[in-house]
Structure 1
Amino acid sequence: MKHFIQQLFRDVLENPVFDQLLIEKYFSKEYLQLVDHQQLNYEEFILHIKKLKEKVAKQNIEILSYAENKNIIFTKHIAKSVLKDGSIVRHKVLAEFTIEDEKVIKCDELTLLIEGNITAKDLGSEI
């Protein structure tokens, strides 16, 4: 499952282009994301990814550690983003992904801004 999540990060988040077909490849239409007291359904998640592509010029995700249990993978990772204004922000992310039928159906996530402007604090849940 680690390879699946790494590929998802590369194709959906690190990819500078918004590609809804790639989102559909990895995420169930029943997808639910809980992030920093926000809840996003599948449609809202698509809007979130569009917003990221508007704001972020380049993103790199480094998995620091992970654990797997049946259809669940937990990651601790660092998301480094170069925003379109040239500034850099880094978030530490703790995420628990639930996978069903080879797609992510749920993500329960905590995101902490560790570098950059406080205005980027909610980058992980912005719509």
Structure 2
Amino acid sequence: MKHIIQQVFLNILENPVFDLSFIEKYFSKDYIQFVDHHQLNYEEFILHIKKLKEKVAEQKIAILNYAENGNVIFTHHLAKSVLKDGSIVLHKVLAEFTIEDKKIVKCDELTLLLEGDFSSRNLGSEI
């Protein structure tokens, strides 16, 4: 399952171009994401990714640690983003992904702004 998450990070988050086909490939239409007191459904998640592409010029994800248990994978990762205004933002992310039929159906995530402007603290949940 780590491979699926790595592909999501590479093809969706690190890819500077919005590509709906990757979201369709890796995420269930029943997808729900809980992130920092917000809940996003599949359609809202798509809007979130589009918003990221509007604001972020480059993003790199580094998985620091992970654990798997059945159809659940937990990651502790860092997300470093270079915004289109040139500023740099670094978030620590703890995420628990549930996978069914090779697609992510749920993500329960906490993000913490480590570096960057406080206004970017909700980058992980913006729509």
Query: What TM-score comes out, normalization by structure 2 length?
Result: 0.99
Structure 1 runs of 4+ aligned residues shifted over 6 Å read none
- Please give the secondary structure, in 1, of the residue aligned with 2:104: strand
Instruction: Measure, in 2, the Cα distance between the counterparts of 1:51 and 1:8.
Output: 17
Whether 2:16 is the aligned partner of 1:19: answer: no
In 1, distance between residues paired with 2:102 and 2:13? Answer: 18
Residues paired across the two proteins, number: 127
Q: Which amino acid aligns with 1:120?
A: S
Give the deviation of 1:3 after TM superposition: 1.3
Residue 3 of structure 1 aligns to a residue whose secondary structure is helix
Q: Hey, what does 1:124 align to over in structure 2?
A: 124
Three-state SS of the structure 1 residue aligned to 2:67 is strand
Provide the C-alpha distance between the structure 1 equivalents of 2:15 and 2:39, rounded to a whole number of angstroms.
24
Q: How high is the TM-score relative to the length of structure 1?
A: 0.99
Q: Quote the offset at 1:81 in angstroms.
A: 0.2
Give the whole-Å Cα distance in 2 for the aligned partners of 1:24 and 1:57: 23
Provide the C-alpha distance between the structure 1 equivalents of 2:32 and 2:58, rounded to a whole number of angstroms. Answer: 25
Residues 1:64 and 2:64 are matched in the alignment: yes
1:22-41 → structure 2 map (5 Å cutoff):
22-41=22-41
| 1:15 match: secondary structure | coil
> Structure 2: where are the runs of 5+ without partners?
none
**AA partner of residue 108 (structure 2):** D
Instruction: For residue 4 of structure 1, report the CA deviation from its aligned partner.
Output: 1.2
Instruction: Give me the whole-angstrom Cα distance separating, in 2, the residues matched to 1:56 and 1:33.
Output: 20
2:80 counterpart SS class = strand
